[in-house]
Structure 1
Amino acid sequence: MAVQTEKKVIGFVGTGVMGKSMASHFLTRGYSVLVYTRSKEKAEELLAQGAVWKERVADLASEANVIITMVGYPHDVEEVYLGEEGIINHAQPGTYLIDMTTSKPTLAQHIYEEAKKHSLYSLDAPVSGGDIGARDAKLTIMVGGDQQAFDEMAPLLKIMGTNVILQGGPGAGQHTKMCNQITIASNMLGVCEAISYAKKAGLDPTRVLESIGSGAANSWSLTNLAPRMIAGNYAPGFYIKHMIKDMAIALETAKELGLLTPGLELAKSLYDEMAAEGEENSGTQALIKWYEKQR
Structure 2
Amino acid sequence: MTSIAFIGLGIMGSPMAVHLVKAGHSVTGYNRTPAKARALAEAGGRVADSIAEAARGAEVVALMLPDSPDVRGVLTGEAGVFAHAAPGTLIIDFSSIRPDVTRELAGEAARHGLRYLDAPVSGGEAGARNAALSIMVGGESDDFEAAKPIFDAVGRTVVHVGPSGAGQTVKAANQLVVAANIEALAEAVVFLRAYGVDLEAALEVLGGGLAGSAVLTQKRANMLNHSFEPGFRIELHHKDMGIVTSAAREAGVVLPLGALVAQLVAAAKAAGDGGLDHSALLRGVERLSGTS
Matches within 5 A, 1:238-277: 238-277=232-271
Letter in 1 for 2:265: Y
Q: Is residue 148 from structure 1 mapped to residue 167 from structure 2 by the alignment?
A: no
Letter in 1 for 2:153: I
The correspondence for 2:25, drawn from 8, 17, 31, is 31
Structure 1, residues 211-265: CA drift from partner, whole Å, max 9, x if none? 0101111111111012211111100100111000000011100000011112122
Give the ranges of 4+ consecutive aligned residues of structure 1 lying more than 6 Å apart after TM superposition. Answer: none
Match of 1:204 in 2: 198
Letter in 1 for 2:183: L
Distance 2:130 2:219 in 1: 16
Q: Is residue 60 from structure 1 mapped to residue 42 from structure 2 by the alignment?
A: no
Match of 1:93 in 2: 87
Distance 2:159 2:173 in 1: 14
Structure 1, residues 169-209: CA drift from partner, whole Å, max 9, x if none? 01010011011011112111111011111111111111111
Deviation at 1:63, TM superposition (A): 2.5
Matches within 5 A, 1:190-229: 190-229=184-223
Deviation at 1:84, TM superposition (A): 2.4
Letter in 1 for 2:91: L
Match of 1:104 in 2: 98
Match of 1:69 in 2: 63
Distance 1:52 1:168 in 2: 33
Q: Which runs of 5+ in 1 are unaligned?
A: 1-5
Q: Is residue 80 from structure 1 mapped to residue 74 from structure 2 by the alignment?
A: yes
Percentage of identical aligned residues: 36
Distance 1:72 1:290 in 2: 24
Distance 2:135 2:266 in 1: 27
Match of 2:120 in 1: 126
Distance 2:262 2:77 in 1: 30
Q: Which moved more, 1:48-57 or 1:148-157?
A: 48-57
Distance 1:139 1:11 in 2: 20
Deviation at 1:70, TM superposition (A): 0.3
Please tell me whether the aligned partners of residues 142 and 167 of structure 1 are also in contact (alpha carbons under 8 angstroms): yes
Deviation at 1:277, TM superposition (A): 2.0
Letter in 2 for 1:91: A
Match of 1:237 in 2: 231
Distance 2:140 2:151 in 1: 15
Match of 2:36 in 1: 42
TM-score normalised by the chain length of structure 1: 0.96
Please tell me whether the aligned partners of residues 137 and 161 of structure 1 are also in contact (alpha carbons under 8 angstroms): yes
Distance 2:261 2:139 in 1: 30
Please tell me whether the aligned partners of residues 185 and 263 of structure 1 are also in contact (alpha carbons under 8 angstroms): no
Distance 2:200 2:114 in 1: 50
Deviation at 1:20, TM superposition (A): 0.8
Letter in 1 for 2:148: A
Distance 1:268 1:255 in 2: 14
Distance 2:34 2:258 in 1: 36
Q: Which moved more, 1:238-247 or 1:55-64?
A: 55-64
Letter in 1 for 2:10: G
The correspondence for 1:288, drawn from 273, 282, 287, is 282
SS in 2 for 1:20: helix
